[in-house]
Amino acid sequence: MSASAPTSSTAVERQQMSVDIAGVGFGPAMGGFLTTLSRKLLNDDGTPRFESAVSPGLPLQVICYERADGLGFGVSGAVTRARGIRASFPGIDLSQIPMAVPVSREKLVYLLDPIGSSRRSLVFRAKDRLIRGFGSIVGLRDHAVELPFTPKFMRKDDGMIFSLGQFNQWVSEQVTSSGAVQLWPGMPVSEPLIEHDAVCGLRLIDQGLSVDGAPAEGFMPGMDVRASLTVVADGPVGAVGRKIDSTFGLPEGHEHREWALGMKMVVELREDSGLEPGTVLHTIGFPEPEIFGFLYVHPERLASVGIFIPSWFQNPVRTAYRYLQHFMLHPYLWRHLRGGTLRSWGAKSLQESGRYGEPFLAGDGYARIGEGSGSTNILANSGVDEAWTTGVQLAEAVIELLETKRPFTRENLEQTYVRRRRESWVDKESRAAADARNGFQHGVIAGLIGTALAGFTGGAVALGPRSKATAASSLKKSYSSRIAPAELKRLQEECAAQGIALHDRIMDRCGWPQIPFDGKLLISHQDVLLMGGSVQAPPGYANHVIFVRPELCRECESKLCVEMCSGQAITRGDDGVPAFDREKCVYCGACLWNCNSREGNVDFRAGAGGLHSTLN
């Protein structure tokens, strides 16, 4: 790993290609965009409706690049009301999509700590004691209480459970079969082309590089794809969206502050698991009070089970993988999951700032859609349908501009795309959700109360103003009541010497039991990279995680990037600077927002490879 690996901006001669519309990132937002757009690009007789401005005589040239090796390698929990998706496919039974099923039963479950190792506050412990004391009255069973109702703002009435991978794969088949647009997976985009304050296309990633970014055998500079409109849908950690943010800034008062890491497994359930397809469980309370969980049941005995580790979980030892395993082993869930087999695994970062994380939605030559555009509703915990709908709105706007022969300027895109978005249910519900999570900066109880207040009042009432972000607390502060400072220091030194993360040792020491590996569902973190996701990294690409200033890493005590890395791709390296192994990176982007450095010392670039699973 080199701290000075060259960026793709390094002056080299590059091939150039011009298209009319270039997109980056194929997820629900781009799916909605291309589904809507491709239907309007052809006349009824199959002839092109719009002529290309860059290739006269040819139809409009629309091309989209996706970083991952396949179009179905996305990760999501994916239970959605599917309002926008259904509107795009009237008359089509969405259950025909593999692993899709209508929501039939939804429960909110409070999980108590059956182990006694969870970091519960006194209030939480008192509440747990109360629940256990009145167990028979409140329906305590398997260390859990099913709440009598699921709040309306959380419910996914008439919704669908999807596998995002299968959904994206299905959508890509519909889109490409039209022949009107082109989708290219396995082609990361390194950055936007920005000239005179306008985005004028995309620069594809350099190939034929050594891991430190030096040109090697077969060096092929990434092509510049120039476009009249660049559609940015590369998610919350995508290189293009972040470069646009850093160049143009964010609207006044907006910031990317709240994040979460979602990690999930797809489990093949045993025949008598007791779970019916369409079942949705939302959980709170375990493995830590700040960690939310879910279990969604697909057809054919498959279930998605996962957790969210939020950035306001201010524990410096916040490993998602081990917490996920303890979550699955909770007696309330394990009675269903026992005897199951792992089919898939994955992780992704979620932009949880909601409306406050919204960037400029359009500028000269570009528009933002999907999660990276702040479309996720943080009150309903819903993102797929919202992302899809923003894509649809942009496509309708593009058609309007093409029909009226107006260019893709900021003004025109605001009058068409942004106007549609502001007038839609996506924006209305986003406004209601804006302050729903303010309370979490003051603790999980305050956070839950604030969410409920905002939810039940439609956003009219929130718990306090939005406060300043707080960093993860120090190890010493987090564990002073459980581990003596001298022992903590010894554990740190031992892990540093072995080059491993600290979380396992700390969790062992705090009484979390060892995971009883069974080789089928409970497997080691290293094994899940192969058995659950077939993580791969093609040769010929540079490292995409760069630690910019090594001296800052050396000073960093907690090394959250190591603790939080979903694939154990970042380890404690020599000389106090983390080491990065791109062959294990699943491109979740957790390192990006788990850097303790105030200015952010992790440069998370476009990279190739990652998960090879279409079930997530």
Which residues of the shown chain bind another protein in the complex (CB under 8 A)?
A: 15, 17, 63, 65, 69-73, 98-99, 166, 169, 172-173, 176-177, 179, 182-187, 204, 207-208, 218, 220, 223, 225, 300, 343, 524, 526-527, 529-531, 534, 536, 538, 540, 581, 584, 612-615
State in angstroms the smallest separation of the CB of 218 from another protein: 6
Is 289:444 a contact under the CB 8 Å cutoff?
yes
**Cβ distance to another protein smaller for residue 221 or 287:** 221
Q: Using CA atoms, how far apart are residues 428 and 434, in angstroms rounded to an integer?
A: 10
**Cβ distance to another protein smaller for residue 176 or 415:** 176
Nearest Cα to Cα of residue 98 among 279, 272, 333, 277:
277
If phi over 0 gives left and psi between -120 and 50 gives alpha, with beta otherwise, what is residue 46?
Answer: left
For residue 454 the two structure tokens come to 């905002």
- Per DSSP bridges, beta strands 215-220 and 144-146 are unpaired
Give the relative orientation of helices 384-403 and 425-433 as an angle to the nearest 10 degrees.
Answer: 140
Nearest Cα to Cα of residue 578 among 65, 94, 564:
564
Would you tell me how many other CB atoms lie within 10 Å of the CB of residue 560?
A: 23
**Cβ distance to another protein smaller for residue 237 or 529:** 529
Q: What value does the CA radius of gyration of the chain take, rounded to a whole number of Å? A: 24
State in angstroms the smallest separation of the CB of 214 from another protein: 16
**Cβ distance to another protein smaller for residue 186 or 443:** 186
**Cβ distance to another protein smaller for residue 267 or 556:** 267
Question: Looking only at Cα atoms, what is the longest distance across the chain?
Answer: 78
CA distances from 318 to 268, 566, 598 (A): 27, 11, 19
**Cβ distance to another protein smaller for residue 409 or 524:** 524
State in angstroms the smallest separation of the CB of 527 from another protein: 5
Main-chain phi, psi angles of 319, to 5 degrees: -80, 130
Is 284:248 a contact under the CB 8 Å cutoff?
no
**Cβ distance to another protein smaller for residue 9 or 177:** 177
**Cβ distance to another protein smaller for residue 337 or 362:** 337
Main-chain phi, psi angles of 254, to 5 degrees: -100, 145
SS (H, E, C) 418-431: HHHHHCCHHHHHHH
State in angstroms the smallest separation of the CB of 207 from another protein: 5
**Cβ distance to another protein smaller for residue 281 or 529:** 529
State in angstroms the smallest separation of the CB of 250 from another protein: 31
State in angstroms the smallest separation of the CB of 60 from another protein: 14
**Cβ distance to another protein smaller for residue 207 or 566:** 207
Q: Give the angle subtended at the CA of 109 by the CAs of 104 and 110, to the nearest 5°.
A: 175
Helix ranges restricted to H, 192-263:
239-248
Main-chain phi, psi angles of 28, to 5 degrees: -60, -40
SS (H, E, C) 95-162: HHCCCCEECCEEEEEEECCCCCCCCCCHHHHHHHHHHHHCHHHHCCECCEEECCCCCCCCCCCCCEEC
CA distances from 429 to 44, 145, 377, 383, 436 (A): 36, 29, 7, 12, 11
Q: Using CA atoms, how far apart are residues 224 and 212, in angstroms rounded to an integer?
A: 22
State in angstroms the smallest separation of the CB of 186 from another protein: 5
State in angstroms the smallest separation of the CB of 581 from another protein: 8
State in angstroms the smallest separation of the CB of 2 from another protein: 17
**Cβ distance to another protein smaller for residue 475 or 528:** 528
**Cβ distance to another protein smaller for residue 135 or 185:** 185
Q: Is 576 helix (H, G, I), strand (E, B) or coil?
A: helix
Burial class (CB in 10 A: 0-12, 13-18, 19+), 151: middle
**Cβ distance to another protein smaller for residue 50 or 356:** 50
For residue 94 the two structure tokens come to 């969405």
Q: Using CA atoms, how far apart are residues 115 and 118, in angstroms rounded to an integer?
A: 8
State in angstroms the smallest separation of the CB of 51 from another protein: 16
